[in-house]
């Protein structure tokens, strides 16, 4: 899958072309060089392992990168293997991270996370999962998912994280909004 889109400069709101494409090992290494604050919840995520899972088990795992000017600004790992009762027909959004430079108020790019969720929606539909997404969120990111329309499920995950679900109807609405706002152009189906 390859998607051309636009993201927006935080300081000027000017659009800039970006690309979502399959993650490479070089992307995994680059993510390890991001300048995380000491307390960042995604600081220790092992993107090299996620890349390897995607390479070795492509029917079960996929990973994607979002780049602007060939610079890495976001990563996402999807799980199609299942194993979670509430996610029987959903893709599991295992990991989503943006380059910490994009988390500042006045620097970096806006819409990175939303763009990656849009790509997950496309892959969910293409893989026969009717656009549904299940995820377990770090508490710091819960508001992001709630603002996109994810519904909080009762209880917590085995890792004591809040659990969220995006149903097919809300998925279609969100994808239509993301495609229009970010000018998605899906270049290939696989």
How far the first Cα of the chain sits from its last, in Å, is 5
pLDDT higher than threshold 90 for residue 188 = no
Residue 116 CB neighbour total at 10 angstroms? 25
Domain range for 85: 2-188
pLDDT band at 187 (very low <50, low <70, confident <90, very high): confident
Q: What CA–CA distances, in Å, run from 82 to 88, 152, 190?
A: 6, 19, 20
- CA-derived radius of gyration, the chain: 15
pLDDT digits (tens, 9 = 90+) for 155-174: 998 888 999 999 999 999 99
pLDDT at 146 over 90: yes
Given this model, what pLDDT does residue 131 score? 86
Q: Is the dihedral of CA 122, 127, 133, 137 positive or negative?
A: negative
pLDDT band of 133, cuts 50, 70, 90 = very high
Predicted confidence at residue 190, as pLDDT, reads 53
Secondary structure (3-state) at 123: helix
Q: Is the pLDDT of residue 189 over 70?
A: no
Please, what's the largest Cα pairwise distance for the chain?
Answer: 44
In the prediction, which pLDDT does 90 show?
A: 87
Q: What CATH number should be reported for the domain holding residue 57?
A: 3.40.630.30
Compute φ and ψ for 116, nearest 5 degrees: -65, -40
Per-chain mean pLDDT for the chain: 92
Tens of pLDDT, residue by residue over 105-132, are 788 999 999 999 999 999 998 988 888 9
The string of pLDDT tens digits covering residues 41-85 is: 899 999 999 999 999 999 999 999 999 999 999 999 999 987 676
**Based on the structure, what is the number of domains in the chain?**
1
């Amino acid at each position: 899958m390859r998607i051309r889109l636009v993201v927006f400069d935080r300081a000027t709101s000017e659009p800039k072309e970006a690309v979502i494409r399959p993650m490479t090992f070089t992307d995994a290494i680059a993510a390890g060089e991001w300048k995380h604050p000491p307390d960042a919840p995604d600081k220790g995520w092992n993107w090299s392992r996620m890349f390897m899972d995607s390479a070795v088990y492509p029917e079960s795992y996929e990973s994607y990168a979002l780049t602007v000017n060939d610079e890495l600004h976001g990563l996402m790992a999807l799980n199609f293997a299942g194993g979670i009762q509430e996610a029987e027909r959903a893709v599991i959004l295992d990991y989503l991270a943006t380059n910490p430079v994009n988390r500042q108020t006045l620097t970096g790019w806006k819409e990175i996370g939303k763009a990656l969720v849009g790509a997950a929606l496309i892959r969910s539909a293409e893989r026969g999962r009717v656009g549904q997404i299940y995820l377990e969120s770090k508490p710091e990111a819960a508001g992001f998912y709630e603002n996109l329309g994810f519904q909080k499920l009762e209880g917590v995950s085995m890792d004591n994280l809040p659990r969220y679900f995006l149903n097919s109807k809300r998925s279609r609405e969100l994808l239509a909004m993301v495609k229009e706002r970010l000018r998605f152009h899906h270049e290939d189906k696989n």
